Structure 1
């Protein structure tokens, strides 16, 4: 068969061996059909040089180079968040960092159980999760600071800080979770991957911010019993 641009132009029957490098197509052709066939055959034989403007080798998904750059950016962002929390909130910032490490570990663990492939949108979802987890801890710590100014004592300030910040944390994460659900329902491909990572990250962030960080703070306070605390 003679094929041009993945389309079969003609499929003549071979009656004898082609030994001289050329052949002849015979049949009941009209003038128009024979002319059209000749034009198509000559079009496929026209020389056309290819000029390379740019050549890149990419891997699956969005390319191994993009994935590698995303991972490096995520590590840098994660390290910057850890340093910021430690400098801004001291010991309480270190508590938040421990919970943040657990949050990321839980997120990767759940993604591994689901057999998810780490793509560039997924990495973006992880980075957004880290930011949301830190935001929840920042809300709590700022509320504790406000309660300490009213001289209620450190124990009561910690309790009220978590209680008053809880509604804001839940509301913010619910709205983001609903948005991620809409992206998953209406999106496709990379968008679904981003949505899945974000929904899992929201769940782990709420858990670590409300329960893990609070557990660490309460255990430290019960053990040390400080008269004053600095947040």
Structure 2
């Protein structure tokens, strides 16, 4: 009713249509518009008429905003979380080192050295690709630490089993790595596929977690299969022990 009355009183005058403080069109009111709809006539081409129609529809969309909750978070909270994540990572790392040493003795020391190399390689790869280490990234590193020693646990337990069959230390080590390889590869490939899907489908923190997890899987497989085995073989050739204490 207001629009109809206004257009009745201002026939022959321009009527500006404003969106975001910009006049998008200023047609002249030729007749009173009392039916709720009108026609803008002019010398338009297709592109210009389409643009005008789009702007008119955009301006008619409801854009009400209702505040349900409002909070202000300072940067200190994020830093506190990262600091807590670092502490958790170091504590977990130390606990894993102690556990491996107490469980496997000399072989546990080899696993611990490989684990340190593994973390170093992972940080090197992260630096090489220019990744920023965030809280989800730290979580990925912690998970990688667990997976890296898991591979060594599989190998050492397999060596223990082979020693029971009295095949000799050298053959037990060889068979231990050979028979544990399929389980290690299977577990890491499935986890790597999960990391790849998280990276492709995820955003933000999820991608950060996926990057560190994926790189960690690559480095952990390398250190568990090659680095640890190299250390065990070198140690065995130098010491030539008659029996193994795994």
Say what the alpha-carbon RMSD is for the aligned residues: 1.9
CA shift, 1:115, in A, is 1.0
Runs of 4+ with >3 A deviation: 53-56
The residue correspondences of 1:115-154 to structure 2 (distance < 5 A) are: 115-154=130-169
Give structure 1 stretches of 5+ with no counterpart. Answer: 1-7, 10-52
TM-score for the superposition, normalised by structure 1? 0.75
Taking the aligned partners of 1:172 and 1:178, their CA distance within structure 2 comes to 10
Taking the aligned partners of 1:67 and 1:197, their CA distance within structure 2 comes to 15
What are the Cα deviations for residues 80-105 of structure 1, in whole angstroms up to 9, with x where unaligned? 00000000000000000000000000
- Aligned counterpart for 2:172 among listed residues 133, 142, 157: 157
Taking the aligned partners of 1:161 and 1:127, their CA distance within structure 2 comes to 26
The alignment covers a number of residue pairs equal to 181
The residue correspondences of 1:77-226 to structure 2 (distance < 5 A) are: 77-226=92-241
What are the Cα deviations for residues 93-129 of structure 1, in whole angstroms up to 9, with x where unaligned? 0000000000000000110111111101000000000
Report the equivalent of 1:49: none
Report the equivalent of 2:37: none
CA shift, 1:215, in A, is 0.2
Report the equivalent of 2:79: 64
Report the equivalent of 2:38: none
Higher relative contact order (CA 8 A, sep 6+): 1
Give structure 2 stretches of 5+ with no counterpart. Answer: 1-19, 22-69
Taking the aligned partners of 2:221 and 2:72, their CA distance within structure 1 comes to 45
Taking the aligned partners of 1:187 and 1:56, their CA distance within structure 2 comes to 24
Taking the aligned partners of 1:163 and 1:172, their CA distance within structure 2 comes to 15
Taking the aligned partners of 1:213 and 1:145, their CA distance within structure 2 comes to 16
Report the equivalent of 2:26: none
What are the Cα deviations for residues 182-205 of structure 1, in whole angstroms up to 9, with x where unaligned? 001100011011101110000000
Quick check: which has more Rg, 1 or 2? 2
